Structure 1
Amino acid sequence: MLAVKAIRVMTYHVHRCRGGDGRTDPERIAEVIRQSAPDLVALQDVNSEEDPGQLAYLAEQLGMQSFGQSCTGGNALLSLIPLKGVQEYRLAKAGCCQRADIDLAGQRLFLYNLRLDTGFYHYRQQVRALFGPELLGRHSAQCPQLVIGDFADPLAAALLFNWAGSMRRTPTPFWSATYPARLPLLDRDRGYMRGGLRILDCSVLHSSLAREASTHLPISFTVQMADPRLYLRLGGLKNRRMEIAPG
């Protein structure tokens, strides 16, 4: 068997490092991230007008490289693994997306760090832009792609992302709600994928510190590339009536 590398990816809306108690404390956010020990963190709503250096502080405390503009309330990536082609895109209204390429087991994984805005009309515009030629529509549907972040409206996300043959929801724990952190009722923070990916594990961190550090709970995924030899083995099954899902 070939050794296939897996990485642990976290998505975390940090609310400008301001917790449910109204206190801004980047160190609490750093400690929450340490509790899950991710290889890569997709942050949303980082840096505040009062503290524009939150991203730099988190990167230094965690020993990770940061990717993102030092703007107020933006998206950013913290990573222990090399990233290529990092770009930022504005979607309709307040929606934004950050794209990065990851070399995983010798294959390219396209990662999208997403933050959508509420309101169904603007939401639909944001999703249309996401699936446009600059982002998800840029690559073949067979290219491994992982979209994680704050999807704002769980119902709208379920309606607009589950287009036939497009994206599939990542596996989730039994209780996947992440918002509001103190009493989570909505699974705003989630993931979608397509192509040859496997999610080996998915978990929401419910520690007492996580419930206080931000208004969202972080969710982590252990991601692995599907073995490409699987597709070769299926070549002899053309006359069999069955559907193969590489994830």
Structure 2
Amino acid sequence: MPRLLTYNVHRCVGVDRKLDVARIVGVIAEHEPDIVCLQELDVGRARTGYVDQARSIADGLAMTFHFHAAMRVEAEQYGDAILTLRPERLVKSGPLPSIRGVPGLEPRGALWSVIDFDGVELNVFNTHLGLVPREQRLQAAALVGPDWLGHSDCVGPTLLTGDFNATSLTRPYQTLARRLADCQRSLGLKPSVKTFPSSFPAIRIDHCFTSPELMVTGVRAPFSPLARMASDHLPLIIDFEFRTP
């Protein structure tokens, strides 16, 4: 059964303020996912020892990967990645809309990969939305628009995941949930799997949305001592199947 893990890794700095890429690899490897979507990765940044965190995690998991730098400062990069054990191809990576003139807002982006499951192609989108509601609304609208989910090449099984910095009560979430099904709601249960903060998860801002061609069979957030320590978010794990045509 296919498994996806989405994880805001907080640049591999844990709640104990220690930088440790190996801990992140350990958290992920324990659950043997087919696809990994990561947010808040540092690549070549002084603050995290100039390590290419996307490559280091992918190498530790023996996966291929694609990284998108939402932010670049000279040679330093910060962004998101899609990793997988399966045959894959990157369709697109790029920026999402931002609000000009507001200090302190980080650039945001998304990636779109197609991953092959024994001849069935799965569209996987990974993103990390901003912190300001107005900005989030623009970014959610862009994701459902013609450049991403509404693109003519986005057909068949589709999955959108990431850190949306938005609960289910917000307009950005609702924009996305009108297009794809929240995987927790599609199980027919009241959504209860929360991932932030990792030490005492009380907020549901990491989401996964799926198209009708997918059947979600399980959703969980590991709460092991390692997972609680390695990042300020817990990973979110989604098990799913492809519906028979």
TM-score (norm 1): 0.83
Which residue does the alignment assign to 1:162?
177
Secondary structure of the corresponding residue to residue 6 of structure 2: strand
Which residue does the alignment assign to 1:3?
none
Summarize the alignment of residues 72-221 of structure 1 with structure 2, pairs less than 5 Å apart: 72-93=77-98, 94-139=107-152, 143-154=156-167, 155-156=169-170, 157-163=172-178, 166-171=179-184, 175-221=192-238
Cα distance in structure 1, aligned partners of 2:90 and 2:175? 27
Q: Is the Cα contact below 8 Å between 1:45 and 1:72 reproduced in 2?
A: no
Q: Is the Cα contact below 8 Å between 2:148 and 2:154 reproduced in 1?
A: no
Which residue does the alignment assign to 2:26?
31
How far the C-alpha of 1:37 sits from its partner, in A, is 1.1
Cα distance in structure 1, aligned partners of 2:205 and 2:228? 15
Cα distance in structure 1, aligned partners of 2:244 and 2:208? 21
Q: Is the Cα contact below 8 Å between 2:65 and 2:82 reproduced in 1?
A: yes
Gap regions ≥5 residues in structure 2? 70-75, 99-106
- The CA deviation string for residues 166-205 of structure 1, in whole angstroms up to 9 with x for no partner, is 2211126863110111111111111111231111221111
How far the C-alpha of 1:108 sits from its partner, in A, is 2.3
Deviates more, 1:61-70 or 1:217-226: 61-70
| Bigger Rg over Cα | 1
- The CA deviation string for residues 59-86 of structure 1, in whole angstroms up to 9 with x for no partner, is 2221111211466321112211111134
Q: Is the Cα contact below 8 Å between 1:85 and 1:100 reproduced in 2?
A: yes
Q: Report runs of 4+ in structure 1 exceeding 3 Å deviation.
A: 139-142, 172-175
Cα distance in structure 2, aligned partners of 1:73 and 1:20? 19
Cα-Cα RMSD: 2.0
Q: Is the Cα contact below 8 Å between 2:144 and 2:176 reproduced in 1?
A: no
Question: In 2 relative to 1, CA 162–40 (structure 1 residues): closer, same or farther, beyond 3 Å?
Answer: closer
Q: Percent sequence identity over matched residues?
A: 29
Secondary structure of the corresponding residue to residue 138 of structure 2: helix
Q: Is the Cα contact below 8 Å between 2:195 and 2:234 reproduced in 1?
A: yes
Deviates more, 1:74-83 or 1:86-95: 86-95
Select which of 11, 15, 23 maps to 1:16. Answer: 11
Letter of the structure 2 residue corresponding to residue 169 of structure 1: D
Cα distance in structure 2, aligned partners of 1:96 and 1:136? 14
Letter of the structure 2 residue corresponding to residue 84 of structure 1: R
Cα distance in structure 2, aligned partners of 1:98 and 1:40? 13
Letter of the structure 2 residue corresponding to residue 11 of structure 1: T
Deviates more, 1:112-121 or 1:81-90: 81-90
Cα distance in structure 1, aligned partners of 2:152 and 2:211? 11
Aligned residues, how many?
Answer: 221
